[in-house]
Amino acid sequence: MPWTTIVKSSRDREIVPNLHDYGSIHASFTWEQARQDLEGLRDNQGLNIAHEAIDRHANGAHASHVAIRWLGKNGTIEDYSYGQLQDLTNRFANLLQQLGVARGDRVFVLAGRIPELYIAALGTFKNRSVFCPLFSAFGPEPIRARLNIGQANVLVTTASLYQRKVAGIRAAIPNLQHILLIGEDRQRTAIAGTQDLWTRMQQASPSFAIGPTDPEDIALLHFTSGTTGTPKGAIHVHQAVVAHHMTGKYALDFHKDDVFWCTADPGWVTGTSYGIIAPLTNGITSIVDEGDFDAERWYRILQDERVTVWYTAPTAIRMMMKGGAGLVRKFNLRHLRFLASVGEPLNPEAVVWGQEAFGQPFHDNWWQTETGGIMIANYASMDIQPGSMGRPLPGIEAAIVHKTEAGTIELLENPGEQGELALRPGWPSMFRGYWNEPERYQKCFAGGWYLTGDLAKKDEQGYFWFVGRADDVIKSSGHLIGPFEVESVLIEHKAVAEAGVIGKPDPVAMEVVKAFVSLKDGYEPSEELRRELLGFARARLGAAVAPKEIAFLPTLPKTRSGKIMRRLLKARELGLPEGDTSTLEG
């Protein structure tokens, strides 16, 4: 790879990074010590996410600090201080009590990024019930399936989503006892079989004392993105907050006056761990934008809200790249000091584009719904190797392993060896199971390791490099080819906006590499361009790894969280059934 290391200069250190010395902090870190950064419930009554996120700040000098600044689609701005959030989440917790919703019961929320979603999440934690977010663009069938898999007791949604998506399937969700509706513009609703959320909230008391919370009490049920198959419901417990808090501090470098914007929707785990929990436990201001992606509007938000730390995703970055760096430079983004990305491999081209457009690189980090929080990251203080996911967080032991036929685990310790990325279990935000799927959960562990299902390699300096999903890796003429490497080269070509690569069965080579690309504005598919791209890739990758075929698509199929669904490209190519498409962007 021709990419040069991005060396962090002293300019990056005007604010000393929390993880100022990776080596020494990593070496001396313990989770017990990290737990001491949190307060815990009084009289040793345990650890509750909402206490750390809200009450601890609201009960002190921080009560009037803005916790959430909400930017509505129609231009409305609403600020919620820690004190106000305490009042509102207490009311929601009291409302759950009045309804008889118990510790461990599931409270689902189906809503866009509106304040009620955040209030319900935190109020649910206070009641020690289980919060389960659903992405608001789901259709009735994925909603029904998830409500039933999670045996929902309560559903909070808007009147409009209820009428469009839930009313028709209501009879098919037998476990559901209570439906709380949010009216248009918070107008009262009166739909049979439901209750009006704000009416009940107003009647509820604003005082609530969180009951004893075992750190192992279930707090969250989070469905995975469904990139590789049927989504799984990952279970997380209250003590996950120790990892949320610590990773916010070290991987996202939160400092007390930060204004942080996580662009992810809470329907996906990033939007919960970092869109709700981590910024609040760290006592900073979190921006919540109700609107969807729009490059220019996003730059305006960064400018007007004086965002200091920004956490977004590769798909959005690639879309911004389409519009060019010139547009970014029209905005005054001098407050912005740290850019991070997650969700998919971040092509080196995109890391470097950050420097061109924002004057600083994007910091890639890696984690999964199952890990609950960031596991491997590029830090504010650490040089970046573009294309690498970075190094493990303090408290996280990561390795490259091979699972033998017999089911034993071999450690691959030579730099550059490719294998499955594995993590040593034991960090607080590790999932505790897949809801009602114990066997699927058991299969994730072997030889004392959690196997992530991702392939990666590690270099001499301990940086990890993503190769591909285990399911997506291509076996061609005795080589193992990671789609990410091929895709990253293709998008270096000036005409290519996005690329998705699959293995296509071949009688001689076993599989050959086939690439699907979408083009940047101003470029049209043509035979000439196809040949040019084939030659471009061959020159960089060599004949063994370069694609043999390239097809043009207007856009690539993606999950609603923006991940390229290679399994769908493959199924379509081979004329096979498409499998679970509930999370497909549509």
Q: x-or-dash pattern for ligand ATP, window 246-275, by CB under 6 A?
A: ----------------------xx------
- Select the binding partner of residue 366 from ligand ATP, Mg ion, none (C-beta < 5 to 8 A, by kind): ligand ATP
Hey, which residues between 366 and 385 contact ligand ATP (CB under 6 A)? 366, 368-369
Q: Which of 99, 240, 342, 497 binds ligand ATP (CB under 6 A)?
A: 342
- The H or E element that residue 486 is part of is helix 483-490
Look at residue 277 and give its three-state secondary structure: helix
Token digits for 240?
Answer: 């996950």
Q: Where on the phi/psi map is residue 433: left (φ > 0), alpha (ψ -120 to 50), or beta?
A: left
Give the single-character DSSP code of 471.
G
Residue closest to 359 by CA, chosen among 47, 11, 63: 11
Closest CA to 413 of 375, 462, 376: 462
Amino acid at 519: L
What secondary structure does DSSP assign to 62-74, as a single string? TTTSEEEEEE-TT
Token look-up 């959690």 returns 450
CB 400 within 8 A of CB 459: no
Instruction: Report 547-566 residues binding ligand ATP (CB under 6 A).
Output: 563
Question: Residue 467 is encoded by which pair of tokens?
Answer: 């190769």
Interface with ligand ATP by CB under 6 A: which range of 69-77, 177-185, 363-371, 540-548? 363-371
Pairing of strands 66-71, 77-81: antiparallel
Binding to Mg ion in span 215-234, by CB under 5 A: 224
Question: What's the closest the beta carbon of residue 510 comes to ligand ATP, in angstroms?
Answer: 23
224 belongs to the binding site for ligand ATP (CB under 6 A): yes
Shortest approach of ligand ATP to residue 525 CB, angstroms? 28
Within 293-443, strands assigned E span 309-312, 338-341, 362-366, 376-377, 391-392, 398-403, 409-411, 419-423
Pairing of strands 549-552, 178-182: unpaired
Q: Which stretch binds ligand ATP (CB under 6 A): 77-85, 303-311, 338-346, 534-542?
A: 338-346
Which one, 162 or 464, has the nearer CB to ligand ATP?
464
Using the rule CB under 6 A, is 231 a contact of ligand ATP?
Answer: yes
Q: Residue 563: name its binding partner from Mg ion, ligand ATP, none (Cβ under 5 to 8 Å by kind).
A: ligand ATP
Our finding on whether 344 is near ligand ATP (CB under 6 A) is yes
Tokens linked to 127: 């009641």
Q: Which is nearer to ligand ATP, 190 or 576 (CB)?
A: 576
Tell me the C-alpha distance between 170 and 482, whole Å.
44
Q: Least separation, in Å, of the C-beta of 371 and ligand ATP?
A: 8
CB 454 to ligand ATP: min, Å: 5
DSSP letter at 584? Answer: B
364 touches ligand ATP (CB under 6 A): yes
Binding stretches for ligand ATP (CB under 6 A): 224-229, 231, 268-269, 342-346, 364-366, 368-369, 389, 452, 454, 466, 469, 563
Binding stretches for Mg ion (CB under 5 A): 224
